[in-house]
Structure 1
Amino acid sequence: MPSPIRVTRTSEAEAPSPTVIAAPRQGPSRVVVWLRRMRPLHRWVGVPLTVLILLSSLTGLLLGWKKYVAVLQPPVQRGASLEARDWQPLHLISSAAEARLRVHLGASPGPIDRLDVRPSKGVAKVLFREGFWEVQVDLTTARVLSVDRRASDFIESLHDGSFLGEASRATMSTVLGLGLLWLSFSGLWLWWGPKLARRSTPPPRDT
């Protein structure tokens, strides 16, 4: 009679464990790469540009109030007549302003920059290139009504960069404009990029 076949049972502890093959690690996505590049660039542009932004903001605020604050800009006087047929020629207005400012300074006032004629007030503002001086003259009588400095002109030169020369005006406007565009674009990307990265990352699969 044949002997019975003995079956050996292997416990679960003794069973060989399955070999786990690690999935290849993927590199960062393009969104993450651009986020890493954008952060230092945003910071490097933003920090030095803050000085120009503060200067432009503060001077712009002051210029917005120049017509309401006498310290910033002398108030407009009123002439004897608002009728143009009663007014004196502009060369007499200019001469009166130059003569009065020469007495006021005790020296030559320098060249005239421009004449700002105010028909609704009957006066002309004679503005000089040096010292930000303004002389208001009655258009009818050619009498000087006020002599004062225009702090608003100095503030405006700081606002547009022309205090360093006419060439610096275009340079400052270009740097400030391009810098603000870059900060707007990079700031929008730094806000939207992480959201996009989370959406593009596949969820982990259960094993």
Structure 2
Amino acid sequence: MRNPTKRQKQARILRIFRKVHRTMGALLFSFFFIISISGILLGWKKNSGGYILAETQKGVSSNLADWQSLDLLHQKAVGIFRDSISPLDHIEVDRMEVRKDKGIVKFTFENSFWGIQLDGTTGKLLRIEIRRGDYIEKIHDGSLLDYYFETQNGQFKLIYTTIMGVALFIFTTTGFWLWYGPKRMRKN
């Protein structure tokens, strides 16, 4: 049995890398497609004309001394949610985002893709929005499955991002070697 030459070893490594690259590409094509499309949409969300990310409204005053209390604004947002979106008994605010410079408070709700913008001074409803950007983000990072299955610790997101991160690393490595390997073989 003869000892393979250096060139034959390099060619064998290239064939292995090509097979790994091709197989992983075929298996994960749909996931990479989803990540790429959702990534493009997320990149363009501020330039979507308010479709993906709703325009932030402007309130009466940016002076916090003129504003109603956050507790009162919170109660108004929950009331608006019940009256205009869903009459559920248990509505939890996930996040209150104070935009002092705009004079508003944005409310987002747990287990919902709805948002409400209230004037900080008057408490007046400025906008009810569908938070499409949040939905696209959950598609992009895999947490949409955690949302639908109501998992507590984001297991789907963790598994999904780990698989996709490792796959991207392997694609990068094998892709580089498929480009560089033949150049190296020619040089030798």
Given candidates 165, 176, 184, the residue that maps to 1:177 is: 165
1:96 aligns with 2:84: no
Give the deviation of 1:134 after TM superposition: 0.5
1:128 aligns with 2:116: no
Question: Which residue number corresponds to residue 50 of structure 1?
Answer: 29
Report the residue type matching 2:108 in the other structure.
Answer: L
Provide structure 1 residue ranges, at least 5 long, that are not aligned to the other structure.
1-23, 201-207
**Secondary structure in 2 matching 1:67:** helix
TM normalised by structure 2 equals: 0.85
**Secondary structure in 2 matching 1:117:** strand
Given candidates 41, 51, 70, the residue that maps to 1:62 is: 41
Given candidates 156, 165, 173, the residue that maps to 1:168 is: 156
Provide closer, same or farther for how the CA distance between residues 47 and 121 of structure 1 changes in structure 2, counting only shifts above 3 A. Answer: same
Report the residue type matching 2:79 in the other structure.
Answer: A
RMSD: 1.9
Provide structure 2 residue ranges, at least 5 long, that are not aligned to the other structure.
147-153
Question: Which residue number corresponds to residue 128 of structure 2?
Answer: 147
Question: Which residue number corresponds to residue 186 of structure 1?
Answer: 174
Q: Quote the sequence identity (%).
A: 34
Write the deviation string for residues 2-56 of structure 1: whole angstroms up to 9, x where unpaired.
xxxxxxxxxxxxxxxxxxxxxx976452212212222211111122233222212
For the residues of structure 1 that align with 2:164 and 2:66, how far apart are their CA atoms? 47
- Give yes or no for contact 1:31–1:196 (8 Å, CA) kept in 2: no
For the residues of structure 2 that align with 1:106 and 1:60, how far apart are their CA atoms? 30
TM normalised by structure 1 equals: 0.78
The structure with more helix, counted as a fraction of residues: 2
Given candidates 177, 180, 195, the residue that maps to 2:183 is: 195
Question: Which has the higher Rg, Structure 1 or Structure 2?
Answer: 1
